[in-house]
Amino acid sequence: MSIPNNITLLGSTGSIGTQTLDVCRRHNIKVKALTANKSVKLLCEQAREFMPEYVCIGDDSLYSDVKNSLADTDIKVFCGIDGICEVATVKADMTVNAVVGMVGLRPTLSALDSGNMVALANKETLVTGGELVMKKAAEKNLPIIPIDSEHSAIFQSLMGNEKNKIDKILLTASGGPFYGYSYEQLKEVTKAQALKHPNWAMGQKITIDSATLMNKGLELIEAVWLFDVAPDDIEILVHRQSILHSAVQYADGSIIGQLGVPDMKIPIQFALTYPERHSCDVKRLSLSDVGTLTFAKADEETFLCLASAKKAIKRKGTACTVLNSANETAVELFLKDKIPFYRIGELVADALRDVKPEDKVTLEAVLETEKTAKEYVLGRV
Ligand code: MN
């Protein structure tokens, strides 16, 4: 479809959102709608620059701030999760969902319902509602274009190979800041250390998820849904340099992968311009400068979240929602200094053991499970 004329952007003030707007600036893509959760000031600045038809602020209590600040424009202002869903249905060449957390699920379904193609950076959407989202996308005959760097790499490695049998997917992981740590060492780590990712500059939630390896667990689940593979056909490969962004091994033994500098602008732009490639203002990858690429197995015994994620996706039903909701809650508690780092993995494992998932996946069941798992974790602190 090449460069879109216009997009709607959900989650415009976060790390992926602002970089998506960089791509829009570079390629003159019009933005029809912008949404943010709480960042009023940045949202209003973006609105003045891109002049969308709609903006939405997720936090209802900030509605009048946004409304007043844009009073001299024709921009229509919405608020709340219902507002975000409404904005997701605005007709556009593509809806980019860069919302953080499982709150992004309903807007994804709304966008597909109204026939918009979705570029997805919101991994929790597929983790909690993968079954619903992929069913809806198939019904509407719309592709889901991944923005997550690993899934973009897999997506690119599958292009032109649609009819070929794959052996397995190689999902790469940086290993995070605590690679090589023992469980005892994990007990001593600080918030500042956990928030310092070796290769990628990202938002807080995903940076903590990278430190616990939950991010890789969520990405494994994401890959199961996006590429219709069994969990056991995905190998997690710790690759410290974050240069090979993931790969596919085919029936003949060949591995095809995508390499590049660790800069999200490449997968974001590719999602927007798929199947074409256009110039992008990122550093060129020089393999001779990198010199060495290393690969190792992931340590599931120390990083409990990874083992929990595998358990959840094999169990099906709303088990992945238990996993995700427990994790979202635990990470929030950690960021508020209410629990130490290593407790995140334990609380997630406990929730998976004690909270019974629903067998049938419906939006209601997902939302109900989310609440139960959240309450469970809060009740144990
Ligand atoms: Mn990723």
pLDDT digits (tens, 9 = 90+) for 86-125: 999 999 999 999 998 889 999 999 999 999 999 999 988 9
- Please tell me the distance from the alpha carbon of residue 298 to that of residue 12, in angstroms, as a whole number: 33
299: CB partners within 8 A, 6+ apart: none
Q: How far is the CA of 76 from the centre of ligand 1 (A)?
A: 33
Q: Which amino acid is at 51?
A: M
Q: How far is the CA of 102 from the centre of ligand 1 (A)?
A: 16
pLDDT at 284: 96
- Residue 235 three-state SS: strand
Single out the residue of 221, 204, 37, 207 nearest to residue 124, CA to CA.
Answer: 221
pLDDT digits (tens, 9 = 90+) for 80-89: 999 999 999 9
Q: Which amino acid is at 12?
A: S
* Tokens linked to 55: 């903006």
Q: Under a CB-based contact definition with an 8 Å cutoff, are residues 319 and 312 in contact?
A: yes
pLDDT(200) > 90: no
Q: How far is the CA of 61 from the centre of ligand 1 (A)?
A: 32
Q: How far is the CA of 110 from the centre of ligand 1 (A)?
A: 24
Q: What mean pLDDT do residues 331-352 have?
A: 97
pLDDT(303) > 70: yes
Q: How far is the CA of 62 from the centre of ligand 1 (A)?
A: 31
Q: How far is the CA of 149 from the centre of ligand 1 (A)?
A: 5
Concatenating the DSSP letter of every residue in 156-172 gives: HHHTT-TTSPEEEEEEE
pLDDT at 53: 98
Q: How far is the CA of 265 from the centre of ligand 1 (A)?
A: 13
pLDDT digits (tens, 9 = 90+) for 224-256: 999 999 999 999 999 999 999 999 999 999 999
Q: How far is the CA of 219 from the centre of ligand 1 (A)?
A: 7
pLDDT at 68: 98
- Residue 299 three-state SS: coil
Q: How far is the CA of 140 from the centre of ligand 1 (A)?
A: 26
Q: What mean pLDDT do residues 287-298 have?
A: 96
Q: How far is the CA of 78 from the centre of ligand 1 (A)?
A: 30
pLDDT digits (tens, 9 = 90+) for 150-171: 999 999 999 999 889 999 999 9
Q: How far is the CA of 338 from the centre of ligand 1 (A)?
A: 27
- Please tell me the distance from the alpha carbon of residue 334 to that of residue 380, in angstroms, as a whole number: 13
Q: Mean pLDDT across the chain, nearest whole number?
A: 96
How much is the pTM?
0.94
| Ion ligand 1, residues whose Cβ is below 5 A away | 148-150
Q: How far is the CA of 218 from the centre of ligand 1 (A)?
A: 9
pLDDT at 72: 97
Q: How far is the CA of 14 from the centre of ligand 1 (A)?
A: 15
* Phi, psi for residue 169 in degrees, rounded to 5: -100, 135
Separate counts of helices (H) and strands (E) for the chain: 17, 12
pLDDT at 1: 55
Q: How far is the CA of 121 from the centre of ligand 1 (A)?
A: 9
- Please tell me the distance from the alpha carbon of residue 65 to that of residue 36, in angstroms, as a whole number: 13
pLDDT band at 197 (very low <50, low <70, confident <90, very high): confident
- Residue 279 three-state SS: coil
pLDDT at 202: 79
- Please tell me the distance from the alpha carbon of residue 28 to that of residue 260, in angstroms, as a whole number: 24
- Identify the residue whose tokens are 């998932």: 357
Q: How far is the CA of 48 from the centre of ligand 1 (A)?
A: 31
Strands 166-173 and 234-238: parallel
pLDDT(201) > 80: no
